[in-house]
Amino acid sequence: MMHDFGVSHRHTIIIDLPLELDLSNIVHGKPVVEYNPRGQTRLGVFPRHVPELIRWFTTDPCVVMHTVNTWDDITPGGTWVNVLLCRMNSVAPFFHMGNIAAPDALKQPDPQCRLYYYEFPPSHEGTTSISQQWALSAIPFEFPCVPKHLEMDPTRYVYGCSMRKGNFAATHISAFKIDCLVKVDVEHLLSQGKTERLSPVDGCVDERSIDEVLASDNPDDPIKVFAFPTGWFAQECSFVPRKDGKHEDDGWLVTYVFDESQLDENGEAPSNARSELWVIDAVDMREVVCRVVLPQRVPYGMHGNWFSEEQIVNQRDVETFRHEY
């Protein structure tokens, strides 16, 4: 099963996980999702238009739902391919999507879902060893966001979702509640990680917990967290750049937010429940510059996107569509 893949200007990275999704297993009384924690994960790197030149790199077993960004580093010695992704050591989220608990056999004593970095050497070196592989941060990080106009290039900042309690890779369904948005200075952490020569797979640049990051008052902290009020939960955010912005993070994060104090005694949302759209300053990750109260509740979902007025106005008319009889 492959849920996502990475694309740079020149390369594609596909991810072969020790994970299978087979609905036919229901008939045979077997789990729909099968994961081998003792298997291996392979990352396939190939020139975008020449897939037959794929190179396979093997690493420890893991689960990857989302890549973050992929880019090429062109040097006199060749092209190095880089990818940031959300790496989990647990398959529990796939069960959570079905609102069921993960089997005991798949529980991890230390569930992790971290922002990871992988670097692959130039093809002419003839090696299948990953040159760099370690975590940028120890905090939970999923549902990433990279400004669309910066995708496939090395960006300074990436954004994502996190939580003060629980973990995206945890084995409890109730742990899946987003109450933090995160801004990571990947340029700073990548430089630090390469200087420290971290150990493969197990290395981590910033080992602070989410509470320790929240307690920081350093204006230059490479990790900044916006924490929602207690009982308020968000969804995947989008970055909206300021027109004629002066720096990369000059803009806002937008996300749907819901106050769960509106739920009834059974934990259900009444018909008059309402969500809000919050606009957050992406520079300092502290100020809510706008709150738009919506006419209804927006149910929790995994993905969000932002389209400008110009994009909406200039949509192309549908010329053809397919019929199925």
Residue 319 domain-assigned (yes or no): no
**Does residue 128 come out as left (phi exceeding 0), alpha (psi in the -120 to 50 range) or beta?**
alpha
**What pLDDT does 325 receive?**
59
**What pLDDT does 114 receive?**
95
Q: Are residues 186 and 251 in the same domain?
A: no
**What pLDDT does 35 receive?**
81
Q: Which residues are annotated as a binding site for Fe cation?
A: 3, 66, 303
Q: Is pLDDT above 70 for 105? A: no
Q: Is pLDDT above 90 for 317? A: no
What percent of the chain has a predicted confidence (pLDDT) above 70?
A: 94
Q: Are residues 217 and 261 in the same domain?
A: no
Q: Are residues 217 and 238 in the same domain?
A: no
Q: Are residues 51 and 181 in the same domain?
A: yes
**What pLDDT does 211 receive?**
94
Asked which of 195-204, 267-276, 277-286 is least confident by mean pLDDT, the reply is: 195-204
Of 227, 256, 273, the residue that ends a domain is: 227
Q: Is pLDDT above 60 for 175? A: no
Residue 65 domain-assigned (yes or no): yes
**What pLDDT does 93 receive?**
75
Q: How many CB atoms lie within 10 A of CB 306?
A: 16
d(CA 118, CA 194): 11
Average pLDDT of the chain to the nearest whole number: 90
**What pLDDT does 172 receive?**
60
* Count of the separate structural domains present in the chain: 2
**What pLDDT does 127 receive?**
82
Q: Are residues 96 and 25 in the same domain?
A: yes
Cβ neighbours for 180, distance < 8 A, ≥ 6 positions apart: 161, 162, 163, 164, 210, 225, 226, 227, 228
Give tens-digit pLDDT for 110-151.
888 999 999 999 988 778 899 999 999 999 999 999 999 999
CA of 49: how far to CAs of 9, 45, 75, 81, 202, in Å? Answer: 11, 12, 21, 15, 33
Of 227, 259, 285, the residue that ends a domain is: 227
Q: Which residues are annotated as a binding site?
A: 3, 66, 303
Give tens-digit pLDDT for 47-58.
999 999 999 999
Q: Which domain holds residue 268?
A: 231-312
Q: Is pLDDT above 90 for 197? A: no
Q: Are residues 204 and 73 in the same domain?
A: yes
Q: Are residues 183 and 217 in the same domain?
A: yes
Residue 190 domain-assigned (yes or no): yes
Q: Are residues 293 and 214 in the same domain?
A: no
